[in-house]
Each structure stands twice: as structure tokens, then as C-alpha cells.
Amino acid sequence: MEEKGVDGRVVKRLDSERSSNSMNRQRFGEVSGVLSIEEFFEDQEVPPWRKQLTFRAFFVSFWLSILFSFIVMKLNLTTGIIPSLNVSAGLLGFFFVKSWTKFLERSGLLRQPFTRQENTVIQTCVVASSGIAFSGGFGSYLFGMSERIAHRSSGSKDFKDPSLGWIIGFLFVVSFLGLFSVVPLRKIMVVDFKLTYPSGTATAHLINSFHTPRGAALAKKQVRLLGRFFSLSFLWGFFQWFFQAADGCGFAHFPTFGLQARANRFYFDFSATYIGVGMICPHIINVSVLVGGIISWGIMWPLIENKKGQWFSEKLSSDDLSGLEGYKVFIAIAIILGDGLYNFFKVLTRTLSGLFSQLQHKREAEDFSLGSSSRSEFSYDDERRKQLFLKDQIPIWFAIGGYVVIAAVSINTLPHIFPQLKWYYILVIYIFAPILAFCNAYGCGLTDWSLASTYGKLAIFTIGAWAGPLHGGVIAGLAACGVMMNIVSTASDLMQDFKTGYLTLASPRSMFVSQVVGTTMGCIISPCVFWLFYKAFDDLGLRTGQYPAPNAVLFRNMSVLGVEGLSSLPKNCLTFCYVFFATAILVNLIKDLIPKKWARFIPLPMAMALPFYLGPYFAIDMSLGSLILFVWQKLNKTKADAFGPAVASGLICGDGIWMLPYSILALAEVKPPICMKFLSRATNARVDKFLGS
């Protein structure tokens, strides 16, 4: 995933640990007792790094990048919970290129066989491209600058509306710095320190397994199942569209648990996407989101609403931050900041202690990989991988020179895009960025936990406070957040890819080039996908709309908080914020101190914070997906572990790609023919009056 919940990284961390273990058991159980992984592939020649970068790899990557950008964009603009899509990218990349090569082989035109190195290039390129849909801030800091979001916060005067031109330019000048900042450290991180990078390791095991006879047979079955649920999800989205002729129509507005529950956002909205997300996410994430929804919308908000007239004025609109909306927004921010601060210092402490330990005991570090309980490869694998990993060097002068040149261009360009972001703010960020990028990449190697958005929030508060309210501090803080997030996020992603390449014998040069090409694709594809959403849906960013973009509101209000202070909060809201800030830290502390067998039942504060603002409806979808997977695992754990991610990916991908024709229909102003509210006209009128009151 990346801290918890808001950017989905805890989902990625926990899910990768689960998927890595199950993949090892399923796919290499029969091999590890006889041959090591690299001994199994010993007869296959490793192609030179240039031959790993094929036209077909980038062609497939381009189309998969569009698909995954739609998926990530929809998740960004609805809840902000983004599961790890590495498995889906690796699986679909394998399927498409394997089909391509089979066709060419039968026609006698195949010149180069499909290798695991090429598969790694595809996966790297797709994840790098779709990752821009997250780090680009389309659901957080970037959209938070817009006038539409500004009207939902207390600092509504300072805004910058989206435009396709400046968004693409901004991404091009900030998205590549992270790649150059950690390239010189690849040998230290991967070979010398042997950092685990669980997501990168799990992806490598997946790709390695695909290219064994047994793994290829399993992958074929997985892709077939993914295709079925892809079609089902796509057709379900198409079917639902026919009944959405007006606001409040369609399956998504069905009062599943009654009218009162529907008014408090407790309902099932028939979303295939979040059922799939629930199947991919660990059970504790889904439970945490549901518990957070029950605490907030089931208990707290009804009680606070009864204080209308005492704690806040009765005349305030429902989305006024001086009223009930203020409690929803700022208590959620308090939980996010408390959880983020705790995990920042936790990962920083682990990073420093781990670095000190490895520098002091390098010999022991050769035999023991931090964060891993056991070794699964033989020494032959390490020697083979080390030899090829160090073969294609990336010159240090190239990395340093690239960083300096791009930083200089960025310092001169960004003030023209954001006049509030002065050149010396950017210079300070770029001086400290390599250190923070290293900390994030190293911590991610230990825990698989990227703190990209935490570093972004740090930039929001420091640069926003430095600029102040009179000099556009809100926009300056949000823009600085984008600069910092892109650097530290791409740095940890690149090191994850280096780990994957190390385990699949893919060249570091091909990994770097693939990351650059994927990032370039993402800088164009992601803004275009966002622009399609922005132009197609008039309610984009509205709390009652289909795409409320909750993180955009939260990030903007963090910036307002850092610039203007706490004076505008409603009565007792600050007290609640202090309590929930401390509670988030305390819950994390308890979770880390008690035995793991009990800690796994404690909810995650960051995941609990999301429904505080948005409502628990998506938590019901995710919980249903989690329940389906849980029952499936009880009935047949082997099949559930093998095919569960494929079913979930099909549900997510089908509903995600439906957004393309859906957006085109909206742009063409083609309206559905039917409005179905499930109730009689008289009852509908009463419901509309009740919900509007």
C-alpha cells in the first residue's frame, strides 16, 4: 500500500505478508525440497538488459496502465483506500504477453521467448504508472487546491482550479527526482543489508512461479477466473446504469437496513469494486473501517447533532465546518495525525536502530535478513543473484547529475505554476529530500510501510506555516506536500522494484528504465483520467456525490489548520481532537506491546478514521468481501489463497474499466432511461423530505 488507510499502504503491507507466505507454500513447496529457485531456472539464459526492454512489454504496460489508473483514480475519489495491485499487474502482464508469444510461436514469427525478466519489467512499468494516480494527489493535495474543495473548508479564498496543462507539467518536474535520489544506494539496501521489502519479494515469488510449468498452469486458471469476474463486474456496472436517471436513483441508494440507517449512511451500495477490495485487504482493515463507522455515524454524530443550538448554531448548513461537519473533518484529521506521528517515529526508530545494527554487525547481516523469520533460498541463489545484480552498474555521476539537473529545472519551474511556492521553499525541500527518501526506502525495506503521505503532511505544516496566511500558505503547503510525496514515494517504489529484479535476475538498468518509462506514462495517463472524471461528473468532490474525494477535504483542512490555527473550530471540537489524537497513539502502542496473537484483533486507527468523515457504507461492502473470503478459506483454504486475489482483481478491474464508457456517456449527456427508487411515489416523497431535513 504507505501509511495506513489514507493511501492504502498498510493494506499493501499486511496483504503482501499474507500473499507472500501463501504463494511460497503453493508454488514453491514442491520445488524447494529438491532445487533452489535459481537452480530450477539454471538452464534458461538471462537476456541482456536491453533485450529485457521489449516493445511488447511496454505496449502491454501502456494498456494495463490505463486500466489500473482508472481503478486507482476511482478508489482515490471515493474512499482513498487503495489495495496492493502488484499481483493483478503481474498476473495480467503474464497472461497478455504469454498469449502474444503463443500466437507468434504458432505462426513461426517468435524471435524472443517470454522471460520472467520481461514479466518483471511489465509489472514495474504498470505499478510505476498507476502509482502516479496516487502520488499525483488527484484525490488529496492536488484536488484539495480547487475552488470546489475550498468551499468545503474554512480557507476558501486561496485556491487553484485544476487544468490539464499545469497538472501534467507539475508531475513531470516532480515525479522523477525520487528515482535519482536512491539509485546509488541500491547495492547497500538490497545486497549488503539484505532488506526484505515484503511486497517486492512477494511479487518476485509470484513472477518466478508463473514461469514454472506448474505455476503457469495455475496462472492460466487464475486468469480465466479473473476474466469471468471481470465480465460479471463490468456487466453489473452497465446494468446498474440503466436505473440512475436522476439523483437518488439506482441500487446504490437502496435503504438496505431501513430509512434511519440510510440517513446515517448505513447501507449496502452494491459496489463490486469494494467487495473486491474487501477480499484483497486483510480482515483487520475491513473490521477497523466498520468499527470506525459504527463509532462515528452510529453513536457520536447522532449524539453531537442533539447538541445543535448549544455547541453550534442551528442555522448552519450541513456542510459548514463551524457545525457538525467540523467535528467529522477535524476528529478524522486528529486520528490520522496521531496514527501517522506514531508510525513515523516507530519506523524512524527501527530504521536508525536497524542501520546501526547492520553497520556494526555486517557479518551477522550476511546470514540474517531483517524483518524475515527464516531463509528460503540456498546460498547458490544469493551468489547468482548478486553476480547479475552488480553486473549492470548505474553510474553514481549519472544519479547525482540527474538529481541536480531535475532539481534545478523544478526550482525554476514550480514558482510559475504555484506563485505561492517560492523558490527557496523548494530548495530547502530538495536539500532534505534525499535523506527523507532514504529513510522512507529503508523503513519500507524493513516493514513494507511507506510513509509517503506522512512526509507530505510534514511539508504541509512546515511550508504552510512558513508562508503564512498572507502569502498563500494554504496552496504553498499543499504544493509542497505534492513535491515531497512524489520524491519519497517513487524512491521506495524503485527500491521495491530493485528487490523484485534482484530475485528474478532482472537487470537494475532495465528496472530503472522501466520505472522511468512507467512514470512518464503515468504523468500523462493519470491527469487525463482525472480530467475525464472532473469534466464528466459535476458532483465530483461534493460530499453527497458519487465521488466525494474525502482525502482532498482532509488534506486541505490540514493545510488550513497549519496556516490559520484552531480558532474556527466549533465548541468542544478541539477537546475531542486531543482525545482521539491521544487514543490513536495509545491504540498503536498497545498493539505493539501485547503479544501478536492478541494484537491482530486490535483495529487500526488510520482505517477507523476514514468513515468518520465519509460514512460506513463502503465498509459494509468491504466487510462483505472479507466475509466471502473468510468463508471460502474455511471451506477450502488452498483454493481461496490461490484464486481469491484473482476473483477480487476481476471485480475491481471490471468495475474500474466500466468507468471509461460511463464517463464518456456522462460527457455526451446521455442519461439512463429509468429512475428506480424501489418505493412508491408517495413514500419516495416522504423519504426525500426526510433525508433532506
Tens of pLDDT, residues 481-504? 999 999 999 988 889 889 999 989
Mean pLDDT in residue range 477-481: 94
Query: Which has more pLDDT, 512 or 3?
Result: 512
Residue 217 has pLDDT above 90, yes or no: no
Residue 297 corresponds to which cell in the numbers above?
Answer: 455515524
End-to-end distance of the chain based on CA atoms, in angstroms? 39
Residue 31 has pLDDT above 50, yes or no: no
List, in sequence order, every residue forming a beta bridge with 308; answer none if it has no partner. 312
**Residues constituting the chain:** 693
Contacts for 440 with CB less than 8 Å, ≥ 6 apart: 450, 451, 452, 455, 488, 489, 491, 492
Count CA atoms closer than 13 A to 410's CA, side-chain side.
Answer: 30
- DSSP state, residue 245: S
Mean pLDDT in residue range 282-290: 87
Indicate the angle between helix axes 55-78 and 86-107, nearest 10 degrees: 150
Question: What's the mean pLDDT when you consider all of the chain?
Answer: 82
Q: Which of 279, 297, 157 is nearest to 652 (CA)?
A: 279
Query: Which has more pLDDT, 82 or 78?
Result: 78
Indicate the angle between helix axes 550-564 and 473-504, nearest 10 degrees: 130
**Buried b or exposed e, range 457-491, using 16+ CB within 10 angstroms:** bbbbbbbbbbbebeebbbbbbbbbbbbbbbbbbbb
User: CA Rg, the chain, in Å?
Assistant: 25
Count CA atoms closer than 13 A to 73's CA, side-chain side.
Answer: 32
Least confident of 3-12, 177-186, 427-436: 3-12
Residue 357 corresponds to which cell in the numbers above?
Answer: 545494527
Contacts for 403 with CB less than 8 Å, ≥ 6 apart: 177, 180, 181, 434
Q: Which of 690, 668, 667, 666 is nearest to 244 (CA)?
A: 666
Q: What pLDDT is stored for residue 374 in this prediction?
A: 42
Q: What pLDDT is stored for residue 632 in this prediction?
A: 94
Q: Which of 136, 141, 123 is nearest to 169 (CA)?
A: 136
Mean pLDDT in residue range 235-260: 82
Least confident of 329-343, 353-367, 377-391, 536-550: 353-367
Mean pLDDT in residue range 234-245: 86
Residue 23 has pLDDT above 60, yes or no: no
Give the model confidence (pLDDT) of 399-422 as tens digits.
899 999 999 999 999 999 999 999
The beta strand positions in 507-590, using DSSP E, are none
- Count of C-beta atoms within a 10 Å radius of residue 35: 14
Least confident of 144-153, 249-258, 441-450: 441-450
Residue 4 has pLDDT above 80, yes or no: no
Count CA atoms closer than 13 A to 291's CA, side-chain side.
Answer: 14
Give the model confidence (pLDDT) of 577-598 as tens digits.
899 999 999 998 998 898 888 8
Give the model confidence (pLDDT) of 655-690 as tens digits.
888 888 888 888 787 888 887 766 545 556 666 666
Residue 255 has pLDDT above 80, yes or no: yes
Query: What is the value of pTM for the model shown?
Result: 0.79
